[in-house]
Amino acid sequence: MAVEKHSPLAQFEIKELIPMEIGSLDASFTNSSLVMVLTVVSIAAFLVLGMRKHAHVPGRWQSMAELSYIFIANMVKDTVGSEGRTYFPFIFSVFMFVLFGNLWGMVPYSFAFTSHIAVTFTMAAFVFIGVTLIALAKHKMHFFSFFMPQGAPIYMAPLLIPIEVISYLSRPISLSVRLFANMLAGHTLLKVFAGFVISLGALGVLPLLFVVALTGLEFVIAFLQAFVFAILTCLYLNDALHLH
């Protein structure tokens, strides 16, 4: 029992806080939902309160809020071009949600909802379906030429089209697995090494130092993975808007 409780994977357990049922559906408010609510509230607070003064010479907080905006705005501009401006609010929301979710996961005793495939795959599926619909709306049937490389001989089509279709369908999976696996691995590793600190006695200083370094690395990964998620969304959007 005691071993189970200190398992490095115990941190990913979903706990029901307020049981709720919609029909036969279990829609309980869990610790995961709680952190998601905290994430959204803290993003709103960060941006709205940061911009409250809207001074010409920004303070530290306002600069952070402005920088995050400019960062994503430039990313959208560089990867999608001027047409991408319409989709900026969505990409900015996705980036901030993943970033703040990752950062909330770094708070001790908190919960990293981005380390659950259910959460990341839902987001990736949403991006994937949305991008496909945008491409279909914009290019109509021409969209399907996407799956046939230009200049390939026609008798290669039976081989090339399934490969391209699989490659296209694998996007949401690679998008979600990348985020989820990074967060899962990082948090598990932290717990495993933290467990060594006590059990090694005086030698426990070594894993302790490692945990400190790893925590720093985790913060980098929190930013990096949010960035990767957002930039891949941009790249997919770019493909949808500018078919060859």
Torsion over CA: 10, 12, 17, 21 (sign): negative
Residue 131 C-alpha from the chain's centroid: 17
CA distances from residue 149 to 6, 64, 136, 142, 159 in whole angstroms, order as listed: 52, 43, 18, 13, 11
Nearer to another protein, 161 or 197 (CB): 161
Pick one of 64, 136, 177, 197: the residue that binds another protein (CB under 8 A): 177
Pick one of 75, 94, 183, 226: the residue that binds another protein (CB under 8 A): 75
Q: How far is the CB of 80 from another protein (least distance, A)?
A: 9
Torsion over CA: 102, 41, 43, 63 (sign): negative
Q: How far is the CB of 23 from another protein (least distance, A)?
A: 28
Q: Helices 205-241 and 88-105: crossing angle, nearest 10°?
A: 170
Q: Looking up tokens 């600190």, which residue turns up?
A: 197
Residue 91 C-alpha from the chain's centroid: 11
* x/- map, 181-220, another protein, by CB under 8 A: xx--------------------------------------
Residue 239 makes contact with another protein by CB under 8 A:
yes
* x/- map, 136-175, another protein, by CB under 8 A: ----------xxxxxx-------x--xxx-xx-xxx-xx-
Binding region for another protein (CB under 8 A)? 70-71, 74-75, 77-78, 81-83, 146-151, 159, 162-164, 166-167, 169-171, 173-174, 177-178, 181-182, 224, 227, 235-236, 238-239, 242-244
